[in-house]
């Protein structure tokens, strides 16, 4: 089979980690008889430098014409002075919206080899944890009305949180279906004691729960969820929540796994086309120094194979290769703990390629 993949390397370490994932996909293609065609497009700060826009129309058209999209990272202090609608991060919201990607899947798994890298105590970590955060991606406060106005104390800024029943239902169904494929437990995170949008969220999720009697369903306030993730992460299987809460909680979940450089993500909509990216940022301070961790991007490529292309055996091969290299004691600089050998981005990629 031939698959067309749009590459959005972006800024900072984006090029290094995306190139690492490309090497891994090329190895998978050789072993399993697939052809992956890669077409690069500009996004973020590099797009601003080249075109004046963080998300050029050519990039949107290219992604829409692809079978799927692999993204590195965007942003950096170079573009901090840009107005809000011209910042590199604006491109992420724009491409998600253009591709109709309303679901973000963020797995958080503590690999046995990385137990010593987790900041949690051994008695909390136990034999590890494996949870999935399902984040609504194209609604909520990130997409609501915003602006400046005169307020009680002079000029003030505002951002609006809004959710429709339709938006909640579609992300809720994704979460329930995900739970059905895992351990059949789902926790919905909201702030229904304060926010009207959360009260609608909770009411809608309760109604959906009646359609999935096999799933053990529960609600939790977001402040409690933030505490519970570090107190007892093993209690969670699938978590579903809004755009902003999911953004925050998934970063917290990533850190308790030992490094944010390990966490992949998949952004999905109603078609097979998705956008796959690590959840970390562009890390401009280490760009070009061969210090980046490519594993999150490589695991994102594995998610692409699984969710967009239906290539589960190929995805399993990548994940087993990552496990093998970590079990052999190799680490990039962001992963601490244990008596291990520190290697760079290129060598980590090469070892994973050779392990497939």
Kindly list the catalytic residues: 142, 191, 223, 247, 251
Distance from C-alpha of 197 to C-alpha of 207, rounded to nearest angstrom: 16
Distance from C-alpha of 336 to C-alpha of 338, rounded to nearest angstrom: 7
**Sheet containing strand 216-221, strands side by side:** 35-40, 2-10, 68-73, 274-278, 264-268, 103-109, 130-136, 238-241, 185-190, 216-221
Distance from C-alpha of 298 to C-alpha of 305, rounded to nearest angstrom: 11
Full DSSP string of 285-320: GGTTTT----HHHHHHHHHHHHHTS--HHHHHHHHH
Distance from C-alpha of 292 to C-alpha of 9, rounded to nearest angstrom: 14
Other CB atoms closer than 10 Å to residue 166's CB: what's the count?
10
φ, ψ dihedrals at 249, nearest 5°: -65, -35
What's the chain's length in residues?
Answer: 356
C-alpha dist (Å) from residue 23 to 9, 17, 126, 293: 14, 10, 35, 14
Residues 6 or more apart in contact with residue 203 via CB below 8 angstroms: none
Residues 6 or more apart in contact with residue 205 via CB below 8 angstroms: 168, 172, 188, 217, 219, 240
CB 227 within 8 A of CB 234: no
Strand-pair category, 68-73 with 274-278: parallel
φ, ψ dihedrals at 294, nearest 5°: -85, -5
């Amino acid at each position: 089979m031939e698959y067309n993949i749009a590459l959005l390397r972006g800024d900072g370490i984006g090029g290094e980690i995306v190139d690492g994932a490309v090497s891994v996909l090329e190895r998978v293609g050789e072993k399993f008889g697939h052809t992956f065609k890669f077409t690069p497009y500009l996004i973020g700060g590099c797009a601003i430098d080249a075109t004046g826009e963080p998300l050029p129309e050519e990039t949107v058209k290219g992604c829409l014409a692809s079978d799927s999209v692999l993204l590195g990272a965007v942003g950096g202090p170079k573009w901090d002075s840009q107005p809000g609608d011209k910042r590199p991060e604006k491109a992420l919201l724009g491409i998600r919206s253009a591709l109709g990607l309303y679901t973000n899947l963020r797995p958080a798994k503590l690999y046995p080899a990385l137990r010593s890298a987790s900041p949690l105590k051994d008695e909390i970590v136990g034999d590890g944890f494996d949870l999935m955060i399902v984040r609504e991606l194209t609604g909520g406060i990130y997409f609501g009305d915003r602006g400046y106005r005169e307020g009680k104390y002079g000029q003030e800024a505002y951002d609006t949180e809004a959710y429709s029943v339709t938006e909640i239902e579609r992300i809720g169904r994704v979460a329930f279906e995900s739970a059905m494929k895992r351990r059949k437990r789902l926790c919905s995170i909201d702030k229904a004691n304060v926010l009207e949008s959360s009260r609608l969220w909770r009411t809608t999720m309760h109604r959906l729960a009646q359609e999935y009697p096999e799933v053990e369903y529960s609600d939790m306030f977001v402040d409690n969820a933030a505490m519970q993730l570090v107190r007892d992460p093993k209690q969670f299987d699938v978590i579903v929540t809004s755009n902003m809460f999911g953004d925050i909680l998934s970063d917290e979940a990533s850190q308790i796994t030992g490094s944010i450089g390990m966490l992949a993500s998949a952004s999905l909509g109603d078609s097979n086309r998705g956008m796959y990216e690590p959840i970390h940022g562009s890390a401009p301070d280490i760009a070009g120094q061969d210090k980046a961790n490519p594993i999150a991007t490589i695991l994102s490529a594995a998610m692409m194979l699984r969710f967009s292309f239906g290539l589960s055996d190929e995805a399993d091969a990548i994940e087993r290769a990552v496990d093998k290299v970590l079990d052999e004691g190799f680490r990039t600089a962001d992963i601490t703990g244990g008596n291990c050998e520190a290697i760079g981005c290129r060598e980590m990629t090469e070892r994973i390629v050779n392990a497939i």
